[in-house]
Amino acid sequence: MQRFAIACKRFWKRYKSWLNIALILAIIIFVSLTFQRHWQEVSALNLSHQGWACLVIATGINLLGYLWTGYVWGYILKALGHPVSAGWAVRTFLQTNIAKYLPSNLLHLYGRTLAAKNIGVPTGAASLSVILDSLLVIASGWILGLLSVPKQGVLAACLGLVAILVVIHPRILGFFISKLKLPMTQQSEGEAISVLKRYPLDLLLGEIIYVFLRGVAFVFTVWAIKQVPFAQVPRLISVYTIAWLMGYLTPGAPGGLGVYELTLIGLLDHTTNLQQAELLGAVAISRLVGTLAEMIGAFTAWADEKWMAPVNVKESLKS
């Protein structure tokens, strides 16, 4: 196993530039296919000027959500005892998040771990920050999704939420992390294990805001097609959250493609009075708007790093 790891490191050092180019091309291809597929569905809709304005707002809110959750991830690293600049955390999140459209739905998480490790964050802390971030996002989606859970499923949903909230307790989480034998979570010799000092309630609130922003963006997406009563907004946010969470949790589905759409169509069909064409259009547009926001965020982060704010990577860590 050790020989294999050494061989992989040598291969990476030798072909690093080519592998980076291949990865970028793969991301562009997968994102372009996703964009094209949903654009064809959206172009068939006759949107008013007000509808297009709603889509612009939805794109902006989605982008704001990505900026915010990148900031929260940086705050997680700080809570683990490894403070980084907010600008670096946001840029890194935006640049790596687009990789979720590659097969496995995990490369964006590995990308963030590797980026943190490259600026001096210990491997264990970098890995734990990504794991904790994912758990907090899942808990946040679960909380907002409870609003649309049928009565017969409320008890099971609440028990599931309690289980997640227990797992993110510093002592419980530290116990599980210490038992993991994955290479990405093992500590180097002499490296102290990073743990939270207190229950991450503020971090959970931060991720709830992120998921809520994504839900609000979806509401504007629906309004672009048809005005729905304001009283239905909480239900729309909750329904969207459940569909998004299903896509997030499904392994192997790049960006939750397919899972998110099917779940959202089924839920909207029972909670709104949208016609079939409007329903399909809302789902397609929501994916398109989210992908567009991710593309804008990734390009902006790359441009900021290359042209507008060129800084030494070693200076990303606060002294």
Q: What is the per-residue pLDDT across 6-26, written as a single tens digit (0 to 9) for each?
A: 555 565 456 555 655 565 566
For residue 172, tell me if it sits in a domain: yes
Q: Which of 13-37 are b and which e, b meaning 16 or more Cβ less than 10 Å from the residue's Cβ? A: eeeeeeeeeeeeeebeebbeebbee
Averaged pLDDT, 256-277:
79
Among 144-148, 189-193, 303-307, top mean pLDDT goes to 144-148
Identify the top-confidence range among 87-91, 188-192, 251-255.
Answer: 87-91
Q: What confidence score (pLDDT) does residue 4 get?
A: 46
In a domain, 56, yes or no: no
Give yes or no for a contact between 200 and 79, defined as CB atoms under 8 angstroms apart: yes
Name the domain count of the chain: 1
Can you give the pLDDT at residue 110? Answer: 85
Q: Which among 211-220, 243-252, 259-268 has the top mean pLDDT?
A: 211-220
The whole-angstrom separation of Cα 27 and Cα 62 is 20
DSSP state of 312: -
Domain assignment present for 179: yes
Q: How many CB atoms lie within 10 A of CB 262?
A: 13
197, 179 in Cβ contact below 8 A? no
CA distances from 99 to 106, 139, 162, 224, 295 (A): 8, 23, 31, 28, 11
Q: Is the residue at 12 inside a domain?
A: no
In a domain, 283, yes or no: yes
Arithmetic mean of pLDDT, 238-266: 82
> Which residue do the tokens 């959206």 mark?
42
Q: Is the whole-model pTM more than 0.85?
A: no
Q: Tell me the residue range of the domain where 303 lies.
A: 63-311
Residue 305's pLDDT is 78
Collapsed DSSP state (helix, strand, coil) of residue 198: coil
Q: How far apart are CA 223 and CA 225, in angstroms?
A: 5
Residue 269 lies in a domain: yes
In a domain, 103, yes or no: yes
- The string of pLDDT tens digits covering residues 168-187 is 888 888 777 776 655 445 55
Count of beta carbons in the 10 Å neighbourhood of residue 258? 12
Q: Which of 9-13, 32-36, 150-154, 228-232 has the lowest mean pLDDT?
A: 9-13
Residue 284 confidence class, pLDDT cut points 50, 70, 90? confident
| Backbone φ and ψ of 189, nearest 5° | -60, 130
Question: Phi/psi class of residue 189: alpha, beta or left (left: φ > 0; alpha: ψ in -120 to 50)?
Answer: beta
Q: Flag whether pLDDT at 219 surpasses 90.
A: yes
Query: Which residues fall within 8 angstroms of residue 75, CB to CB, at 6 or more apart?
Result: 89, 202, 203, 206
In the chain, what is the greatest distance between 2 CA atoms, to the nearest angstrom? 63
> Is 33 part of any domain?
no
